[in-house]
A and B are shown apart, each in its own frame.
Chain A
Amino acid sequence: MDFADEAPKLLMLLYGLIAFVVVVGGLLLLLDVVPTWFARRREAALLAASTAAAGPATTAATVRARRRRSVVNRREGGFGFFFLLPALLLLAVGLVVPAIRTVVLSFKDGNSENWVGLRNYTWMFAQDEIFRVLINTLTWVIVVPLAATAIGLVYAVLVDRSRFEAVAKALIFMPMAISFVGASIIWRFVYAYRSAEYDQIGLLNHIWVLLGGEPQQWLQNPPLNTFLLIVIMVWIQAGFATVVLSAAIKAIPADVVEAARLDGVNSWQMFWRITLPSIRPAMVVVIVAISIATLKVFDIVRTTTNGNYDTGVIANEMYNQAFRFGQTGQGSALAVFLFVLVIPLVIYQIRNLRKQREV
């Protein structure tokens, strides 16, 4: 390796890190220094006012109590604004503008030149194979989060505090470290098909033939093939579920577990009455995150079947329409439909947030 070629890159990295320290540190410092100054002035005013109102009898304790009230209930828009500023700016440029643009494009034609009204949406529901795509996406988004979370949870509980826990978790996490495309290549090997008169090179057909079956073209037979593709996604995401849920399980206070033990609950009851309720917030995070990842799944379908044999999903069809077929309008309409599908999750989040605030 020619080090001279790499130096500018490392220098760039260094600039990046310096920029990071300057931006983040600067922001915190700014927020520290400026408001403290204001706070001092306000406090002085408060103290003066209270002394004036209640006379010299006012004790330090009442000042403290008032301060508590004012501190906890004060609206702090300025602070909130600056804490949020970097994230909001980036989100506006990187995602909000594109989202709006996508919605606008969905009402235009393939070249994004003429307005076509709702034509792209009627097209979506008129085509049999697009309808199939919608059904498949629903199947994915129902099966994947449930299966991945269930497997992740069971595994996390089973390996918890066992001697090989670290290794066991690393094993199930490994698929996460492989890209979606890499994972799909792995599974194409598993599902590979050869005619009966030849040796099978796919593991699944090999086992199938050993059990006395005819070799199957697994990826060509709907609706089974959609489920076989779902297996790939579950395989990848179960590691995520395991890692997060296992951490949540470890956070269950030991005395709670101990108290339950003393009450004589068995492992099964323990799981349902203690473990599950305690890790509910983590479960929600896992299910929601996997659901969204599943809605956007694209590489798996593209690498294995590219949506042939009735396996298409919205994200893959959107990519094909918008980027390969030059039908930007139809692709955008599919993307907008993805936005619609996420609404139930959004509503669920709103309810959750309300509940949290009430507590």
Chain B
Amino acid sequence: MTTATTTTAPADAKRTPTPGGTAARVRRRLSHPVATAVSILIAVLWTVPTFGLFVSSLRPEDEIKTTGWWTAFTNPQFTLENYQEVLFGRSASSGQLASYFVNSLVITIPSVLFPLAFASLAAYALAWINFRGRDWIYIGIFALQIVPLQMALVPLLSFFSQGVSIGDVTLLPAWNLDDEEKFIQVWFAHTCFALPFAVFLLHNFIAQLPKDLMEAARVDGATHPKIFRSIVLPLIVPALAAFAIFQFLWVWNDLLVALIFAGGGNEVAPLTVRLAELAGTRGSEWQRLTSGAFVSIVIPLIVFLSLQRYFVRGLLAGGVKG
């Protein structure tokens, strides 16, 4: 994949017949002053609020509460105290931030992988395997996106804590998970909740793969698992990367699912739980949230930047010619 990605762009450029080819023209169009101004304006509008928060996170508490962050440039007063409190904490019992970082990672990685795998299998089946009712199953899965997470918490929790039984017959016993084992609950919950969107997103891309390609493979005797592995998966890598990013961000930033299924203890609770706790019993220490927000944003940004190159080929497989 990597080599293919990097060679595409130069190949395109070489194919252009005249010196004033696509790339050059596009670039010329872009240098139009209005276009440049608009894109800069959007970039600034989108950055300023976050930048303001960043400046605030470096200012002393009473300064944050009395003057605007822009005054920090004329009257610079900076401190790392907010970060110190977030990173090393004043609360002895809540444990060290590093520990919560580990928890967040342990929660996030499987919670991204499982829905990714299950959803791509399902999306492939719904798009290319011919069986009765598949459209209705797809529509049903699509519609499940709207089920509010909050309404799903209680039934899922009782599924874990009491198992499944009809009358007196126990179909599934209670899970009885302790400490670290509670990660399983969290993975399970995140996977369930992610599936509808994942199937929807991936189905859209898998369904657009060229029909000839699939039929040719079938005629050559390839089975569905083989086609899925050797043809479909490589072609939808950009879409997989896209979903992986969104799911990563969602899980990383999630508080609700973690609180219910992991609890608040530092064996299992992720970073968000710890950051929410920073506000203090009566929410009075919210200035610490400014630095907390930046501590928690670091990993998602790294993930985004490192996966960004997978987008270069384009999300839609339409660009791929079988």
Q: Is the CB of A91 within 8 A of B313?
A: no
Say yes or no: B148 contacts A257, CB within 8 Å.
no
Minimum CB–CB distance for A230 against chain B, Å: 15
Q: Is B281 close to A, CB under 8 A?
A: no
Q: Which of A177-231 contact B (CB under 8 A)?
A: 177-182, 185-187, 189-190, 199-203, 206
Min Cβ gap B47→A in Å is 5
Closest CB in chain B relative to A183 CB, distance in Å: 8
Tell whether A251 pairs with B318 under 8 Å between CB atoms, given A32-B223, A189-B56, A296-B148: yes
B166 within 8 A of A: no
The reply to whether A175 and B50 form a contact with Cβ atoms under 8 Å apart is yes
Is B301 engaged at the interface, CB distance under 8 Å to the other chain?
A: yes
Complex contact B50–A178 (CB within 8 A): yes
Nearest Cβ in chain A — how far from B278, in angstroms? Answer: 12
| Interface check A166, CB cutoff 8 A | yes
Asked if residues A179 and B255 are in contact (CB atoms below 8 Å), the reply is: yes
Q: How many A-B residue pairs have CB under 8 A?
A: 386
User: Are A16 and B109 touching (Cβ within 8 A)?
Assistant: yes
Residues of B within 8 A of A276 (CB): none
CB distance from A321 to the nearest CB of B (A): 11
Q: What are the residues of chain B within 8 A of A175 when measuring CB–CB?
A: 46, 50
For A95-131 the 0/1 string (1 means CB < 8 A from B) is 1111101100000000000000000000000000000
CA distance A96 to B27 in the complex (A): 50
Within 8 A of B (CB), among A1-38: 1, 5-6, 8-13, 16-17, 19-20, 23-24, 27-29, 31-32, 35-36
Q: Are A186 and B50 in contact (CB under 8 A)?
A: yes
Q: Which of B94-127 contact A (CB under 8 A)?
A: 96, 98-99, 102-103, 105-106, 109-110, 113-114, 117-119, 121-122, 124-126
Bound together, the chains give a CA A83 to CA B138 distance in angstroms of: 13
Which residues of A sit under 8 angstroms from B17, Cβ to Cβ? 258
Which stretch from A50-58, A242-250, A304-312 is at the chain B interface?
Answer: A242-250
A selection of 11 A-B contacts at a CB cut-off of 8 Å is A9-B106, A31-B223, A72-B218, A84-B137, A91-B141, A99-B151, A101-B155, A162-B39, A177-B300, A240-B246, A254-B16
B: residues with CB less than 8 A from A are: 12, 15-17, 21-23, 25-27, 29-30, 32, 35-36, 38-39, 42-43, 46-50, 52-53, 56, 64-71, 96, 98-99, 102-103, 105-106, 109-110, 113-114, 117-119, 121-122, 124-126, 129-132, 134-135, 137-139, 141-152, 154-156, 159, 179-181, 183-184, 187-189, 191-193, 195-197, 199-201, 204, 207-208, 215, 218-219, 223-226, 228-229, 238, 242, 245-246, 249, 253-255, 267-268, 272, 276, 286, 289-290, 293, 296-297, 300-301, 304-305, 308, 311-319, 321
Query: What 10 pairs between A and B have smallest CB-CB spacing?
Result: A94-B192, A251-B314, A83-B125, A179-B253, A251-B319, A247-B315, A177-B300, A87-B122, A98-B152, A158-B39
